[in-house]
């Protein structure tokens, strides 16, 4: 799962090291969400072996320091736990208290990195890329530039200054690639 790259990568915008996985922290965070929630469900269903997979997966999720991944993964794990019929109400209260205490203690060790990561604006220069995408979208408003071509249309100067060519905004990307009409059709079909 961790692959052959360096275990930790330094984030471009903040300089914070994050557990990277085989590609990027966001990819590993998404895998960890799936593994955490499914293993928690199986553990609560009575298969105690999945307890260790859950603990490993949730720890991995937090080490990625992905803001949205940590929020979504934590929320889903809490909802899965609280909606489980396999644990009594008193058990849920005790476990939640224990989780809060452990989270506090762990946060003392991760606090500098986590605070820096979660307090940053998170745009990482994307506002420059978004401005360019909006400008280019206005030149091709109806039918766009073609599906999958946002990456190819990004000028080298923006890639160098933002260290990214990805908009991290699917609405802007689809509007540029497909235009007004087909992006709406695509989103309606997708959802």
| pLDDT tens for each residue of 127-142 | 788 889 999 999 999 9
Task: Enumerate helices (H) and strands (E) in the chain, giving the number of each.
Answer: 8, 2
Whole-angstrom CA distances from 87 to 82, 90, 98, 126 are: 8, 8, 15, 44
The arithmetic mean of pLDDT across residues 6-30, rounded, is 65
Contacts of 107-113 with C-beta under 8 Å, sequence gap 24+, read 110/62, 113/16, 113/17, 113/18, 113/65
**Nearest-angstrom CA–CA distance, 41 and 34:** 11
pLDDT of residue 159: 76
pLDDT of residue 140: 92
| pLDDT tens for each residue of 79-128 | 888 888 877 888 888 888 887 887 777 677 666 666 665 565 555 667 78
């Amino acid at each position: 799962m961790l692959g052959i790259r360096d275990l930790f990568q330094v984030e471009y915008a903040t300089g914070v090291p994050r557990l990277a996985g085989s590609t990027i922290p966001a990819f590993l965070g998404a895998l960890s969400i799936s593994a955490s929630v499914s293993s928690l469900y199986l553990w609560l269903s009575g298969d105690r072996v999945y307890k260790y997979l859950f603990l490993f997966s949730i720890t991995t999720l937090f080490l990625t320091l992905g803001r949205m991944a940590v929020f979504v993964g934590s929320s889903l794990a809490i909802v899965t736990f609280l909606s489980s019929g396999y644990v009594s109400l008193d058990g849920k209260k005790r476990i939640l208290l224990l989780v809060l205490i452990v989270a506090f203690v762990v946060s003392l060790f991760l606090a500098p990195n986590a605070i820096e990561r979660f307090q940053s604006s998170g745009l990482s220069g994307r506002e420059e890329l978004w401005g360019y995408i909006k400008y280019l979208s206005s030149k091709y408003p109806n039918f766009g530039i073609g599906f999958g071509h946002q990456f190819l249309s990004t000028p080298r100067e923006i890639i160098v200054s933002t260290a990214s060519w990805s908009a991290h905004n699917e609405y802007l990307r689809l509007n540029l690639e497909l235009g007004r009409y087909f992006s709406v059709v695509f989103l309606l079909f997708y959802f």
